[in-house]
Amino acid sequence: MPLNDTKVRALYSKAQKGEKVGKEADGGGLILLNGKYWRLCYRFGGKQKTLALGVYPIVSLLLARRGRDEAKTLLAQGIDPSEKRKEDKQKVQQEDKEQALTFRAVAMDYFKRKLTDRRELYKKQTLARFENQIFPFMGDIPISQLKPTHILEGLREVEERGSIDMAHRLASLIRQVCRYAVAAGYAEFNAAAELTAAMTPKPKATPRAAILNPEKIGQLLRDIDEFPCTISVKYALKLMPYLFVRSQELRNAHWDEFDFKNALWHIPAERMKMKSAHVVPLARQVMVLLKELREWNGHSDLLFPSNRSKTRAITSEGLIRALRNMEYEKDEMCIHGFRSIASTLLNESGKYRPDVIEAALAHSEKNQVRAAYNRAEYIEERRVLMQDWADMLDELKAGKA
C-alpha cells in the first residue's frame, strides 16, 4: 500500500524517539528507510542498485516521488541514474573550478613560475602592467571562457589613448599568459594568438639618436670633459664612449667586478640584458679614468653611487639630463647613442670582423655553444679593438678627424 503524508510523519516521529522503524515501501522501488531516508531500489545492467533521493522532512513525499519518476525516465532511456548523478556532480565541480581559474589567477601563476630569473626591474614592470592595465578589464574572466573580443575591447581603449606601442606590449604579455594556459591545460586554445591582425599597426621604429659625424663626436667628448656635474655623472659619461656598454650595465657596476691586474671587467649575467655574463677588455685610457674615479668613489661598492644614497646607483635620467644641459637634443643624441656610434664606426672601418664587433656589443648569440666559443675566441681580438677604439676617440677629441 502506498505511503501518505500522515504515515510518513508518524514514521519520522517514531524514529526521532529512538523507536525501530525499518523500511516502508511506497511503490515503484521508492522506500523510506529508518523513517527519514528516501531510497530508490532499481536494477541496471543486471545488477541491483540503490539511489539516494534525500532526507525527510527536507525532501517531502511529493519530492521523493518526483525524484523516483525522473530516475525511471532515465532508466527508460537506458541511462543509469546513479552514473548520471556522478557526471552532473563532476560537471558542476569542473564549472566551479573553471570559474575560479580566472585570467588573473593564471597570469599570477605564470608570473611566479616563468619569470623567477628575470631582472627585478622587469618583474616590477610586468606586475604593474598586469595590475594597472590588464586585470581591470579582463582579470576576472575565466581563462577557459576568454575570447579574442574580451581582449580587444580592453586593448582598443589603450589605443584610443594614443598608446599604440603600449597596446602591442600588453597584447604580447597577454599572449604569453594564454600560451602558458594552453600548455598547462587551463585552456583549449590561445585566445590572444591572432590579436595583431585586429589591432592598429605599431608605428615604425625610429633609430635611436646618435652623433655619427667624426668632428661632432670630438666636440661631444670635449663637452663631456668640460661639463660641470657630480663625480658619478661626470665619470659615467666619460667612460661610456670607451666602453659602449648599456646604460644599466655601466651605472650599476661594482668595484669587485674589475680585474685591474688583467685589465678586464666581468659583468655578471644577472645584470646583462641577455642574461649571459660579459667580459669587457679595458683600454689604457679606461684604466686611467677608473683609477681617478676610485680616488673619489672607492669608499662605495658602486662606481657611480647617487648623491642621495651610497647604496643606489645614479639613474639614466641623470645622464640624459646632463646631455640635454649640454644642449644635445633628444633627436640628436641619447645615452644609447654611444653604442650606436661604436657599432657604426667600427663596422665602417672594415678593420674588424663583424662577429668580434657583435661580441664587443654583447649582442645575443642564439647558439649557446657558439656563444661560449665566441667569448673565449674573441677576447684577444677584442682587446685590440677596444684599445684601437679608445685611441681613435682620443684623436677625435683632439680634433684629428
Q: How far apart, in whole angstroms, are the C-alpha atoms of residue 133 and residue 143?
A: 17
Preceding peptide of 57 cis, ω within 30° = yes
Same domain, 70 and 179: no
- CATH code of residue 14: 3.30.160.390
Same domain, 152 and 226: no
pLDDT of residue 265: 97
Residue 280: phi and psi, rounded to 5, are: -115, 115
The answer as to whether 163 is a domain residue is: yes
Same domain, 127 and 82: no
Residue 180: give the domain boundaries: 103-198
Residue that terminates a domain, selected from 198, 233, 261: 198
Residue that terminates a domain, selected from 198, 228, 258: 198
Same domain, 181 and 234: no
Same domain, 179 and 88: no
Same domain, 58 and 169: no
Same domain, 348 and 242: yes
Q: Is the pTM of this model over 0.75?
A: no
| HSE, side-chain direction, 13 A CA sphere, residue 141 | 18
- Report the catalytic residues: 246, 273, 336, 339, 363, 373
Strands (E), 276-400: 278-281
pLDDT tens column, 9-66: 999 999 898 888 888 899 888 999 988 999 999 999 889 999 898 899 999 989 999 9
The answer as to whether 267 is a domain residue is: yes
The answer as to whether 116 is a domain residue is: yes
Same domain, 90 and 111: no
Q: Please give the tally of structural domains in the chain.
A: 3
Same domain, 90 and 108: no
Residue that terminates a domain, selected from 95, 121, 144: 95
pLDDT of residue 45: 86
- CATH code of residue 243: 1.10.443.10
pLDDT of residue 97: 64
Q: How far apart, in whole angstroms, are the C-alpha atoms of residue 109 and residue 32?
A: 50
The answer as to whether 205 is a domain residue is: no
Q: List the one residue out of 199, 144, 190, 143 whose CA is nearest residue 170.
A: 199
The answer as to whether 363 is a domain residue is: yes
pLDDT of residue 99: 64
- CATH code of residue 120: 1.10.150.130
Could you say which residues of the chain have pLDDT below 50? 369-370
Q: List the one residue out of 161, 193, 180, 173 whose CA is nearest residue 130.
A: 173
